[in-house]
Chain A
Amino acid sequence: MDPKSVPTELALYPTMPVLLVTLEASDAGYQIVEARTIPGAINRVPFGSHDVLVSAEDGSGVSVASTSFVNPRAAHTTGAKSPQEAVLPAARITILLPAPDRIRVLSIKVVSGPNAGLETRLPLPSSPGD
């Protein structure tokens, strides 16, 4: 940062319209709880483990975005002493996707953890706007 050229006005967070999707995972599978467009920031690289893969498709079935996330139902104790794991009966996770106007379907594949092997396609509500 050059102290001679510090901007006098700035946006706290450069954001763009993104699709916020809240998914709920349970023994019954995955379902969309909420989908709406908000200002947000998409990370340049997926964070965490790729336990669950998501492909966002347009109305023609073409993938317009993809991401992954850690299995939300997999709980583990912190620390190495007497480690334990548990499967949460239900859990929600929120993801952000670019190109909110184009996304119509989420294709979900659970690679590891609870619900492993599940592949499902979830249509978004007809108007995922604000």
Chain B
Amino acid sequence: MVITPSLRLRAPGTESRAPSAVGRATSCWIRPALLLSGALGCSSATLSTRYAPLHPANHQAVTFRVIATDSDGIASIRLHVFEYELLVGAAGAQVARRRAAGTWGAVRTWSFPSHPGAIDESHTISGGFPAASYIRYLVEVRDTLSGDVSDSWAFAAGDWPFGNSPIPIWVNGPPGERIDIAFVADRTDFVNARDMLPGLVPLIFDGYHENAGIRAGRKYWQFYYSPNLGFISDFDTPPRQMDIPPSVVSAGIIDGATVIHTTVKRDWAAGGNFGTEPQNRGTAVHESAHAVFGLKDEYAGGGHASSSDPHHNNYDSLGSAQSYNTSNGWAASDAEVIQTSWWRPEPSGLQCIMLDDGDASMPEFGRTCLHRALWFYLQLEP
């Protein structure tokens, strides 16, 4: 089966429970393995959630938003919010404990007698949350055939009590089984790291989550930000310098850092870290694909190397690129030269984001790179 990048994929991590009444499970989430095998048997249902503002201040209003589609018609939505207080536990561990008299459970239910195929709803907790809060939320969507899907995430709210350690703004699981990215505010443009947060909302929710390859593994991408500032120099103005705060480097849970700046610079990447303006979402996904998936550039003059990893996008011989294609059911002739000694297995016509990052636009991954991303997500599973 050829997987087209434009296919809208249900993000793994949105759970499906079997309907309680007789009927069929009309909603499901697509396991990467199923996607790779071509077993796409689900209805065209989607669910995404978000909240704002990121890392809300003490008692700042927080709005939760639900965007869902379901060809079987949406019957109801329920939003649950669970409020914890943060404290230092045994051996200095960062612990969250249910806050006495805090919010705990369902806070809003929407019913849709007209059974729309698409909804976009929001709920605001106007009083927000106090200092040292950790908020988990769960959204459950039920369709007309009693199929359920859900989405659940957590974030810090109020004054962060753990010093300079990275602050979670979008998390849902153990770091060892996730891709953990920390955003670092560039001191060129920011006095306080929090000032960077508004620019991260479109970068994450309308950037990373808009890319099909990222959306397919949305569950695995966790985001934090550093209370400390960092810096990245302009590539064309040596000495080239990239300062990632020690509290990020030594956090023990962060896989890569992105320095966010608003002054236009010629950005660069090294050591799995990179810089970008927040609006250059295509650049962010492209560089993240290097740092996380090990994908290489598909354009001449970029970084090229071969790899034994499955679904690599650079080959040092035409024959190897062609063999990769035929072994995956694609035409050998699709392989194209990148530059002397390097070939890409996927044709330029697929417009892979590794061929052109698109800057502020969001190209999709080509078929090879998409397979690579899906394979990688599977490796994160215990």
- Judge: A and B partners, yes or no: yes
Per-residue B-contact encoding for A72-85, CB less than 8 Å = 1, 0 else: 11111111101111
- Select B271's contact among A8, A12, A38, A70, beta carbons within 8 Å: A70
- Select A44's contact among B272, B359, B382, beta carbons within 8 Å: B382
Contacts of A62 in B (CB 8 A): none
Query: Is B96 a contact of A12 with CB atoms below 8 Å?
Result: yes
Query: Is B138 a contact of A1 with CB atoms below 8 Å?
Result: yes
Total contacts A to B, CB within 8 angstroms?
Answer: 171
Contacts of B287 in A (CB 8 A): 78
The answer for the CA separation of A79 and B293 in the assembled complex, in Å, is 17
Does any Cβ of B come within 8 Å of A123's Cβ? no
Query: Is B253 a contact of A15 with CB atoms below 8 Å?
Result: yes
- Select A9's contact among B98, B240, B359, B381, beta carbons within 8 Å: B98
Contacts of A70 in B (CB 8 A): 271-272, 290-291, 294
Query: Is B89 a contact of A84 with CB atoms below 8 Å?
Result: no
Query: Is A78 a contact of B94 with CB atoms below 8 Å?
Result: no
Query: Is A10 a contact of B302 with CB atoms below 8 Å?
Result: no
The answer for the CA separation of A40 and B174 in the assembled complex, in Å, is 11
Contacts of A112 in B (CB 8 A): 305
Chain B, residue nearest A22 (CB) = B249
Q: Which residues 288-327 of B have a CB within 8 angstroms of A?
A: 290-294, 296-297, 299, 301-303, 305, 307-309
- Select A3's contact among B96, B138, B253, beta carbons within 8 Å: B138
Does any Cβ of A come within 8 Å of B376's Cβ? yes
- Select A13's contact among B253, B308, B359, beta carbons within 8 Å: B253
Query: Is A88 a contact of B272 with CB atoms below 8 Å?
Result: no
Query: Is A47 a contact of B292 with CB atoms below 8 Å?
Result: yes
Does any Cβ of B come within 8 Å of A105's Cβ? no
Query: Is B176 a contact of A44 with CB atoms below 8 Å?
Result: yes
Report the count of interface residues on A (CB-CB < 8 A).
51
Given A70-B271, A83-B299, CB of A9 within 8 Å of CB of B176: no
Task: Determine how close the nearest CB of chain A comes to the CB of B186; give it in whole angstroms.
Answer: 14
Q: Which residues 79-94 of B have a CB within 8 angstroms of A?
A: 80, 82, 84, 86, 89, 91-94
Per-residue A-contact encoding for B83-124, CB less than 8 Å = 1, 0 else: 010100101111111100000111000000000000000000
Q: Chain B interface secondary structure, helix, strand, loop or mixed?
A: mixed
The answer for the CA separation of A94 and B255 in the assembled complex, in Å, is 10
Contacts of A44 in B (CB 8 A): 176-177, 379-382
Task: Determine how close the nearest CB of chain B comes to the CB of A71; give it in whole angstroms.
Answer: 8
Given A8-B98, A72-B270, CB of A41 within 8 Å of CB of B176: yes
Query: Is B174 a contact of A41 with CB atoms below 8 Å?
Result: yes
The answer for the CA separation of A79 and B97 in the assembled complex, in Å, is 44
Query: Is B291 a contact of A47 with CB atoms below 8 Å?
Result: yes
Does any Cβ of A come within 8 Å of B286's Cβ? yes
Given A14-B176, A40-B253, CB of A47 within 8 Å of CB of B272: yes
Where the two chains meet, the residues of A that have a C-beta atom closer than 8 Å to any C-beta of B are 1, 3, 6, 8-15, 18, 20, 22, 38-45, 47-51, 69-70, 72-80, 82-86, 88-89, 91-94, 96, 112
Known: A39-B91, A41-B176. 7 other contacts (CB 8 A): A9-B97, A10-B84, A11-B95, A51-B305, A76-B269, A78-B268, A85-B303
Q: Which 4 pairs from chain A and chain B are nearest by CB?
A: A40-B252, A41-B176, A45-B379, A41-B175
Where the two chains meet, the residues of B that have a C-beta atom closer than 8 Å to any C-beta of A are 15, 80, 82, 84, 86, 89, 91-98, 104-106, 134, 136, 138, 140, 150, 152, 168, 174-177, 179, 235, 239-240, 249-253, 255-256, 266-272, 274-276, 283, 286-287, 290-294, 296-297, 299, 301-303, 305, 307-309, 355-357, 359, 376, 379-382
Name 9 A/B residue pairs within 8 A (Cβ), A-sorted.
A1-B15, A9-B95, A9-B96, A12-B86, A48-B293, A49-B305, A74-B270, A76-B268, A80-B299
